[in-house]
Amino acid sequence: MTWIKTMFGTEKAIIGLLHLKALPGDPFYEGDMKAVIKQAETDLEALQAGGVDGILITNEFSLPYEKKVSKVTVAAMARVVGAIEKKLKVPYGVEVIYDADATIEVCAATGADFSRCVFTGAFAGDLGIVDKDIAKTLRLRRALGIQDLKLFYFVNSEGEVYLNDREWEDVTKTMIFNCHPEALVVAGGMAGTSPESTLLSKVKKSAGNLPVFCGTGCKTDNIREIFEISDGAFVGTTFKKEGKFENGIDKNRVRTFMEKVHAIRGE
């Protein structure tokens, strides 16, 4: 039995994304933390009522993302998780987008079961150069005494170019050897867009028995194909009202998606 099965109760897990509204310090923060918490509660209820296997809480609307987040972001995310914690009924994780060390710190403060982030590599894109220090991050996890925290590593980064001329198969193999991820994630160009199936296949083939998840663009009409290749998926935009990134979660869309997942899994 894999740790995916142990944690989520299935070998093909669907982790619903709970996207927090803009937080204090963010350019588009609306000035009301109570509204942020209320939306998080509403989305959490919809995700769980729809039947997801796990939930990842992210600061998705902290655009444009900081490479090293402000302290107020860490504090705000911890406040939101604390406010909704008693309502969480499935395994949950927290991700502070782009800031791996802050992600570890928030997970330590909130008791998260898992997390996902760009933990390794160096990328170039709209934010400039994003350079990760996985050695520091893993030492921080050890120092904070949360070695059981499971980490999903992005192999590639959404909408960015990896500053490396190696094939993705080689990147996957050396990432596993050097950095010891518990699972890998393959992303598309941005939220709501799917990675190429060939890329997902290449990473999974190179990863061997290590779980590989699809990170973006999972929809009702492609989840069967994704499951044929990968070990699960993170799902966000598909669950939202009208399938639009900026909207809240639609319980009926979650339920419809999960009904197909259950059928594929033979449940």
* 133: Cβ contacts below 8 Å, ≥ 6 apart: 100
109 φ, ψ (degrees, to nearest 5): -75, -30
33-44 pLDDT per residue, tens: 999 999 999 999
Which pLDDT score, from 0 to 100, does residue 159 have? 80
Q: What is the mean pLDDT of residues 107-113?
A: 98
Looking at residue 62, its pLDDT comes to: 97
| Residue 193: per-residue pLDDT | 52
Give strand ranges (E) for the chain: 13-19, 54-58, 92-95, 114-117, 122-125, 128-131, 150-154, 161-162, 183-186, 212-214, 232-235
Of residues 227 and 159, which shows the higher confidence score? 227
pLDDT band at 192; cut points 50, 70, 90: very low
Mean pLDDT of the region 118-128: 93
At position 76, the amino acid (one-letter code) is A
Predicted local confidence at residue 232, as pLDDT:
96
- 8 Å CB contact between 50 and 18: no
Quick check: 191 pLDDT over 70? no
For 45-70, the pLDDT digits (tens) are 999 999 999 999 999 999 999 999 99
Residues 6+ apart with CB under 8 A from 56: 15, 16, 17, 18, 92, 93, 94, 95, 114, 115, 116, 234
What SS3 string covers 150-191?
EEEEECCCCCCEECCCCCHHHHHHHHHHHHCCCEEEECCCCC
At residue 189, the pLDDT reads 45
pLDDT at 47: 98
**What is the residue whose two structure tokens read 């949950």?**
92
Alpha carbons within 13 angstroms on the beta-carbon side of residue 1 total: 7
Q: Is residue 195 very low, low, confident or very high in pLDDT (cuts 50, 70, 90)?
A: low
Domain that holds residue 30: 3-120+129-265
Place of tokens 């030492």: 139
Give percent above pLDDT 90 in the chain.
Answer: 88
pLDDT band at 194 (very low <50, low <70, confident <90, very high): low
Q: How many structural domains comprise the chain? A: 1
pLDDT of res. 199: 86
181-200 b/e (C-beta count within 10 Å ≥ 16 → b): bbbbbbbbeebbebbebebb
Per the CB < 8 A criterion, the answer to whether 60 and 95 are in contact is: no
Residue 196: predicted pLDDT = 65
> pLDDT tens digits for 198-225?
889 999 999 999 999 998 889 999 999 9
CA distance 194 to 171: 20
Report the CATH number that the domain containing residue 19 is assigned in CATH.
3.20.20.70
* 3-state secondary structure (DSSP) of residue 91: coil
Sign of torsion over alpha carbons 18, 99, 118, 124:
positive
Sequence-separated contacts (24+) of 240-245 with Cβ below 8 Å: 243/192, 245/191, 245/192
Q: How confident is the model at residue 157 (pLDDT cuts 50, 70, 90)?
A: confident
Would you state the structure tokens that stand for residue 188, as one six-digit string? 């598309």
